[in-house]
A and B are shown apart, each in its own frame.
Chain A
Amino acid sequence: MKQTFAIGIGGAAGQGVATPGDIFAKIFSRRGLHLNAYNAYQSIIRGGHTFLTIRTGPEKVSNMGDRLDLLIPLNQDAMDRHRGLLTRGAACIYNSDTIKPGVAAEGVALCALPASKLADITRNKVAQNTLAVGAGISMMGIGFQALEEVLTEQFKKKGEAVASENVGLARVGYDYATANFRPFAWPLPTTGNRYAVLSGNVAMAMGGAAAGVKFYCAYPMSPSTGVLHWMAAHARKAGIMVRQVEDEIGVVNMAIGAAHAGVRSMCATSGGGFALMSEGLGLSAMMETPVVVIDCQRAGPSTGVPTKTEQGDLWQMLGAAFGDYPRALAAPLDIGDCFKIIPEIFNIADRFQCPGIVLCDLLLSEGRLSLDPRDLDFAPIIDRGELITTASSGPNGDGVYKRYKITESGVSPRALPGVPGYTHTAASDEHDEDGVLISDEFTNPAKRRAMMEKRMRKVAGIEAAVPAPVPWGPRDADVTLIGWGSTKGVIEEACEILTEQGISANQLQIRWLAPLHGDAILGILKDTRHTIIVENNYSGQFARYLRSETSFVPDGYIRKYDGEPFMPHHIVEAVREQLSGKSRLSVPAHEILV
């Protein structure tokens, strides 16, 4: 098993959970350690309970894991909620002025920091946090200098006095722990690597910049708003027009307008905003104007649980907008993939002049992951498809140009407004090759059929242009776990644990959801022994989709719809239960109360 170390920091919103998290993340990534962070929070600005998990180690850390090594509760509530989850070898650092420790399991170190005796805490509201960070760093076997460096940077904006006050507090906590607490059994190593740490939202925004997006617009909606924030902050340097629009209907239509005028155009939202955008997706398909829409899923339906994760929007994506039309739909597999998938789907959308949908979720959007900076490739392949941008570049100028020319591929060369000789009207009504409406005065069944078939021929083209999924793990495994999108990391780790426990397991993770590559999937699954579909929703949306496309029915299902992501042991225990024949449907309970 990979060696990892996990920290949990809990408290009320506004108590400063994020800052210690950022400090730990920086220290780890600069030591060349990988990390994965997930913040469980509520839709509240002050109060409630927030719980941040940071897991680090020398190898890639694909999920939050099962175990906490260090708990830092910032209030009594956090102590009471999480103390019981600590097991042998773990420690808990807490302010003994305000928090009663209670009873922990055997082998758990309760490390009391008498904050008011160690420092003047009346001047600094978050003094206890900094003391605890200092103590934790000492117990992890990390030299103080690394912490001093990060603190100085972190508080630089607030002035030198604040920075040095925090460095002083951290030093006190560090020295107190060195003198009084037992260090962790596994001192955190260093490697020569240097990692960037980013959220899925930042990765998708940067992926957009890399893809050449010149227009981005959005209406704020959790958990997609991080894309807007990155775009807005970096727009002027990146040469991107970023707009906040009055609603998501305006967003998608504005994005389509910009795309129609010739730029790569993108927007992001969550399920509710996407619902408002669906008519616009049909417009993109009908006018054959490519646009990329990101849906960051949160727990639905309706307003649902805005700060919690789910994979519950799949059927909304498949059914968005009325009528049949070609669409490209892909779910990123991890935060690194959030970056890579954007240039890929833009190439597909541009080549096939249709909407591209990226189906992300809160787990990736707001989670954070360490990445080798070289994986953030700002010069990816860009294929804009058949575009007419100058008077001489197209096949038919001067009045004979057919915007919707019937072709074998279904793709017709697209002239951009402003080019002399190619004027035409793009219509949401059904139209003929010239773009003239056939919906009004004289409808024409033959032309309607020809246009439907022209557009739908693109589906085969898209399927051929995107890669089929490939299985991961041993060929002849006892169990095959099938997932899609963000569950890749946790299923991967569950497979490793199962293998250690003597149950060989492999994984099939689906990235391109439409077109689905049904034949390739059936080919992979025909030689499996026991198949289980794992997904973060109630009804098994992917299982139902796979069955509708391929008639494939798995042996079992693992589902979770409580708002929190899977942890590896949830899957491991469910697999064992199902292999023993006790159940075909497992719904693991989330033990952490967040």
Chain B
Amino acid sequence: MATALAATNHVAMADLKGKVDPDWCPGCGDFGVLAAVQKALVELQIPNHNVVTISGIGCSSNFPGFINTYGMHTLHGRALAVATGVKLANHDLTVLVTGGDGDGFGIGGNHFVHSMRRNVDLLYIVMDNQIYGLTTGQTSPTSRVGMKTKSMPFGNIEAPVNPISLALAAGATFVARGFSGEQKHLTELIKQGIQHKGFSFLDVFSPCVTYNYDNTYQWFRPRVKKLEDDPAHDPADWMAAMGKSLLWGEEIPIGKFFERTDVPTLHGAEPVLNAGPLAHAGLRIPVDVTRAFVEELI
């Protein structure tokens, strides 16, 4: 998603500090995501008043309160729908959507799929911890088979969703995976996601240190391998990206799986927005136009 750089008023980390400090558990992966988003906005020099950070409900969805931009902390699963409305009403704004795996792939699954096929111009960051945290530890759509939680005490018998394959299949034009423990790499992916014109999906391994005893920092660290380190990786190759998305085990790829730039954004495809953002448009319709509307009825 593209945003004009501010000509004046240098944006510093301090400008992006929220009114309150995060209330996540000490050690939560989400701290790393917040820091990376703030760093990316500073590096891109996007003024905070031109950014809207929108979330649903869950631990990670408390994100907008911890960063100083315009924010919307909406309903469980509905952040992408709200964000689409914001972007279509004022496409000059940089729209960031933040949330968790339950919010995005469970209750919000329908909006997730449709927002991608529409190519809404925003960056969607999912802090994926494979567990429901704020409700104190239940199985999530990305929990592995066999994982024991309070809601599935004898082990999960349902196959997890693969967010990367799903995003590729649904037509997302930028698909990437990051790890909260890889700050520089994550910041770079966020910057690319913001600059991409279209729907940018960024799934971030963001370990839950309180309820998920399986997918810990220690579990992820030796497994994650950066796609950028593979000279044969071509992010323009959708089939190859789909193949890479299926890798899970001793080696788990992180980085940019796929990007294409030839698909029009939702707001770019609609001529109504050619004259500029609707939020700045006058409310009255020209008289000759309304007269023609009435004439049709006579």
Contact = CB atoms under 8 A, between A and B. Distances in A.
Interface of A: 29-30, 194-198, 202, 206, 209-212, 214-215, 217, 234-241, 243, 245-247, 249-251, 253-265, 279-280, 283, 287, 373, 376, 378-379, 382, 416-429, 434-437, 440-441
B176 interface: no
Contacts of A196: 294, 297-298
A243 B120 CA distance: 12
Contacts of B19: 434-436
A258 B78 CA distance: 14
Contacts of B110: 246-247, 249-250
16 contacts: A196-B297, A211-B283, A236-B272, A237-B293, A240-B272, A241-B270, A245-B81, A253-B78, A262-B89, A263-B89, A382-B283, A417-B86, A420-B47, A426-B71, A436-B65, A437-B62
Given A241-B278, A246-B111, A260 B73 contact: no
Contacts of A440: 23, 62
Nearest to A202: B297
The residue among A258, A420, A421 with the most chain B CB atoms within 10 A of its own CB is A258
A265 B86 CA distance: 11
A246 to B, nearest CB: 4
B254 interface: no
Contacts of A280: 75, 78
Given A236-B272, A238-B289, A265-B89, A426 B278 contact: no
Contacts of B49: 417-423
Contacts of A435: 19, 71
B40 interface: no
Given A196-B298, A262-B279, A427-B65, 9 more contacts: A212-B284, A253-B74, A258-B89, A258-B278, A279-B75, A280-B78, A426-B71, A428-B57, A428-B75
A210 B297 CA distance: 16
A395 to B, nearest CB: 17
Nearest to A262: B279
Chain B interface size, under 10 / 10 to 19 / 20 to 34 / 35 or more: 35 or more
A16 B93 CA distance: 50
Contact of A418 (B72, B93, B287, B297): B93
B298 A194 contact: yes
Given A210-B290, A436-B65, A260 B72 contact: yes
Interface string B77-94: 010011111111110110
A376 B73 contact: no
Contacts of B211: none
B96 to A, nearest CB: 12
Interface of B: 19-20, 23, 47-50, 52-54, 57, 62, 64-65, 68-75, 78, 81-90, 92-93, 110-111, 113-114, 270-273, 275, 278-279, 281, 283-285, 287, 289-290, 292-294, 297-298
A215 B271 CA distance: 14
The residue among A238, A254, A279, A417 with the most chain B CB atoms within 10 A of its own CB is A417
B272 A235 contact: yes
Contacts of A194: 298
Contacts of B114: 245-246, 250
Contacts of B281: 214, 239, 263
B279 A426 contact: no
Contacts of B270: 241
A264 B85 CA distance: 11
B81 A249 contact: yes
A256 B62 CA distance: 19
B85 A259 contact: yes
Nearest to B19: A436
Contacts of A247: 110
A385 to B, nearest CB: 13
B88 A215 contact: yes
Contacts of A422: 49
B74 A283 contact: yes
A261 B19 CA distance: 21
Given A236-B271, A241-B270, A420-B49, A214 B89 contact: yes
Interface residues of A: mostly helix, strand, loop or mixed? mixed
A101 to B, nearest CB: 37
A262 B87 CA distance: 11
A54 B271 CA distance: 39
A247 B293 CA distance: 29
Contacts of A261: 52, 85-86, 89-90, 93, 279
Contacts of A198: 297
Contacts of A259: 85, 89
The residue among B57, B69, B90, B110 with the most chain A CB atoms within 10 A of its own CB is B90
- Interchain residue pairs A-B with the least CB separation, the first 10: A257-B85, A212-B283, A425-B71, A261-B89, A253-B81, A262-B279, A258-B85, A257-B82, A196-B297, A427-B73
B81 to A, nearest CB: 4
Contacts of B113: 246
B150 to A, nearest CB: 21
B82 A254 contact: yes
Contacts of A379: 284
Given A427-B73, A437-B73, A257 B81 contact: yes
Contact of A209 (B53, B85, B290): B290
B50 A241 contact: no
Nearest to B16: A423
Nearest to A291: B85
A238 B281 CA distance: 11
A394 to B, nearest CB: 13
Nearest to A368: B297
Contacts of B297: 196-198, 202, 373
Contacts of A426: 71-73
B272 A263 contact: no
A195 B298 contact: yes
B65 A215 contact: no
The residue among A255, A261, A418 with the most chain B CB atoms within 10 A of its own CB is A261
B71 A424 contact: yes
Contacts of B84: 243, 254, 257
B90 A250 contact: no
A378 B290 CA distance: 7
B272 A250 contact: no
Nearest to B83: A257
A195 B295 CA distance: 10
Given A247-B110, A254-B85, A418-B93, A423 B72 contact: no
Nearest to A234: B293
B298 A416 contact: no
B285 A378 contact: yes
Nearest to B72: A426
B170 to A, nearest CB: 12
The residue among B48, B113, B278 with the most chain A CB atoms within 10 A of its own CB is B278
The residue among B23, B52, B62, B293 with the most chain A CB atoms within 10 A of its own CB is B293
A259 B278 CA distance: 11
A421 B47 CA distance: 11
B74 to A, nearest CB: 6
A279 B76 CA distance: 10
B267 to A, nearest CB: 9
B48 A260 contact: no
Nearest to B48: A423
A425 B89 contact: no
Given A215-B89, A257-B83, A428-B75, A423 B70 contact: yes
